[in-house]
A and B are shown apart, each in its own frame.
Chain A
Amino acid sequence: MMKIDARGVYYRNLNKIIRDAVASGEKEFDLINVNGQRYIGDGLQGSDVKIDIHGVPGNDMAAFMDGPTLIVHSNAQDDVSNTMNEGKVVVHGHAGDVLGYGMRGGKLFVKGDAGFRVGIHMKGYMDKAPVMIIGGTAGNFFGEYMAGGVLILLGINRKKDTPIAGDYLGTGMHGGVMYIRGEVDPYQCGAEVGISELNDEDKKNLSALIKEYCNDLGFNYNEIMSEKFVKLYPKSSRPYGKLYAY
């Protein structure tokens, strides 16, 4: 295991150390005193690479990442898992805006709240199905233009009268599925979104994912599953077909 004290280390140097070490066979990293260094894990390959991060990593962590596991033992900032292809990110705190933008594979688990524009244009293809689970609440534009994968919002510990998600929920959604723990007001949703109960297939998928999430973040599975979930799905796979196709 390689331990790196990141205090005062410029992001470029930090990331070069990690990339070079991975290239020469290092599998496990423990980063301490991280604060604000951008692009950690970006484009990194290797499903057996694991990086523990202590401190708040900077923006665009795990962008284009293709295999490794990142464990953030604090809060994370904006743009985590941008266009991530494979691997796993677990954040033991809250995270910022624009998480999982165009994410196409792998998993992103956040323990606390997430910001605005989370899960925009997540997509799936063939065996690729990205999964994002947010333990707290999310801001506006959650799952906007969603094209594939699974988005789960749990709203754990949220205050009364705090909506679990903001407005424009799933606007432009045309693929994938969302499971939201609690009530969703149709007013919040985009016109392209359908709301329904979960079927047996949904319940099976959800159950497996929540088990994994609880295992990683120390939540009680039964407690989380004791509340009702709703399913959000796209009414059409081509909501704007009539607008742009002749």
Chain B
Amino acid sequence: MNNNYDFQKDIAGCGLTGIISTKGRKISGSVIRCSIACQHDRGNGLGGGFAAYGIYPKYKDHYAFHLMYDNMEAKKTAEAYLDENLTVDLAEEIPTKKSKAIPTSPILWRYFVKVKDSKKGSSVANISDDDIIVNSVMHINSDIHGAYIFSSGKNMGAFKGVGFPEEIADFFMIENYEGYIWTAHNRFPTNTPGWWGGAHPFTLLDWSIVHNGEITSYGINKRYLEMFGYKLTLLTDTEVVAYMLDLLIRRHGLKPEIACVALASPFWKSIARMPEDEKQMVTALRMVYGSALLNGPFAFVFGYTRGMVGMNDRIKLRPLVVASKDDMVYMSSEESAIIEICPSPEKVWAPKAGEAVIVNLDKDVAA
């Protein structure tokens, strides 16, 4: 994809916010817009984005593909691929509103798709629809020049681009969407280009991640993921986390809390002081998933159909604050960004380094 945006190495923030209603209550996108706009100065206008869950109830059994194209030719090629491999039940332009802040954009289109019966994998080989969708995403992103899938989950969607997040919110008119989980990101690119595909969130299936920091272990993580068929095409470290979650949680069946221990595992000196059974478990995780360990400073929030997780790196080099009130849980880089949308939370706390805060929908809530 074209990268026409000037960027330079700089040292600063990135801001993020995540909100979830554990009762599955729908919240307008205008709420999270307020919170991320409060962190305006954590970004520099080179990336903003949102992920929302529960926004496509009419098509909740379809995978919702959001694509960005550099040109009509890329669109034609990608659509031919989609038609051949998937049933496309609705194809439409993603509604946007051009503004002075966002005068140009890639061509933005969305498709509600299902895996064709004739293309379904064999249950003997244990190939699921999700696997086929992942393969389609990897194929389009790596092999169709100028076409990128930036969202591919069911009943959820990512909206992102180059601009401040409040400008991106207005561009996609996110106030028109209602979701029970929202995440938002304000980007300050440090080591990688600011371009539409490189804005957060990064997604795969229903995984979405917004991240503040740097994954300095990117090279190791990338090579590890490639062994499992993932192709890393978006020029940004955060992409590895989205695919790592897919690999560890969906494909390897780890619980989110265990996957988080693999991603930000305790230091050996802490492991040495653990009770024996915990010591064995964490030692095994470190040995099996050494290449999944994320190094470097980070705070991230990831969402999935039934929940949201916030976590820091192992020595907490980036900020993360969590607050709760009634059925709502909020996570953000700054407390003020939570107060902006929840003036008097019942509880506000900062999770410890490497401690995952996992918030799931109540058991009786259908997502």
Contacts and interface: CB of A to CB of B under 8 A. Distances in A.
Contact of B316 (A36, A57, A77, A116): A116
A77 B348 contact: no
B144 interface: no
A115 interface: yes
A185 to B, nearest CB: 10
A97 interface: yes
B352 A139 contact: yes
How big is chain B's contact interface, by range? 10 to 19
B353 A36 contact: no
Interface in B314-343: 315-316, 319, 321, 334-337, 339-340
Interface string A6-45: 0000010000000000000000000000011010000000
Chain A binding surface, main DSSP class: loop
Given A35-B336, A77-B334, A11 B41 contact: yes
Contact of A55 (B39, B337, B339): B339
Contacts of A187: 273
A75 B336 CA distance: 9
Interface string A146-168: 00000000000000000000110
A35 B39 CA distance: 10
A75 B334 contact: no
Contact of A35 (B270, B273, B340, B353): B340
B173 interface: no
Contacts of A78: 319, 334
Interface residues of A, number: 24
A142 to B, nearest CB: 13
A96 B350 contact: yes
Contact of B340 (A11, A36, A57, A140): A36
Nearest to A116: B316
Contact of A96 (B270, B273, B315, B335): B335
Given A36-B334, A75-B335, A113-B350, 7 more contacts: A55-B336, A56-B339, A77-B335, A78-B334, A139-B316, A139-B352, A140-B316
Interface of B: 38-39, 41, 270, 273, 315-316, 319, 321, 334-337, 339-340, 348, 350, 352-353
9 contacts: A36-B39, A77-B334, A77-B335, A96-B319, A96-B321, A96-B335, A96-B350, A116-B315, A139-B316
Interface of A: 11, 35-36, 38, 55-59, 75, 77-78, 94, 96-97, 113, 115-116, 139-141, 166-167, 187
